[in-house]
Copies of this chain bind each other. A is one copy, B any other.
């Protein structure tokens, strides 16, 4: 990549992260280009869609989040590892408004730039869930997709209930209790 192109790419990424944090996932793309000191066409050249830009901004951190599951699995009992990772997932997908619903929407669309991130998330969750099932901590008949939907629902509810830092933990606690095997 040419030097000026690379510089513009980096500037766009920084401006996008700032704008997404400030205004949410539907921040104005024009505003992002303006903040980066770049023509709007340049933004579209580097990132053809909003999802491509979101993926560039957040893809790495999603991969790190998924990688962290190995450590949790190695140090914690199955059930605690699952809960801890799901909490981290909710905190991560609520770093800015609208990210949770965006990730939810692309989970079935293989052509989306965010599909890779969605897939990593669901694969990681499934692995932790299987381990929790094997340990008898979660009922066998729980479909990974259903757990994913519940967690995304909690993430979206969290976005609507700001100012209560313990909210995600409490919601996850209430929900996870319902996933225990019947005694």
Which residues of A are in contact with B by a Cβ distance under 8 Å? Answer: 101, 104-105, 142, 146, 149-150, 152-157, 160-161, 167, 170-171, 174-180, 183
Contacts and interface: CB of A to CB of B under 8 A. Distances in A.
Contact of A153 (B105, B171, B176): B171
A180 B154 CA distance: 19
13 contacts: A104-B160, A142-B174, A146-B171, A149-B160, A149-B167, A150-B153, A150-B154, A152-B160, A153-B154, A156-B156, A156-B157, A175-B175, A183-B183
A174 to B, nearest CB: 5
A171 B157 contact: no
Nearest to A173: B178
Contacts of A104: 157, 160
Chain A binding surface SS class: helix
A150 B157 CA distance: 7
Protomer copies: 2
Contact of A157 (B142, B149, B170, B174): B149
A22 B50 CA distance: 24
Contacts of A167: 149
A101 B175 contact: no
A161 B149 contact: yes
A171 B149 contact: yes
A160 B153 CA distance: 10
A174 B152 CA distance: 14
Contacts of A177: 177-179
Contacts of A174: 142, 146, 150, 175, 178-179
Nearest to A106: B160
Contacts of A152: 157, 160
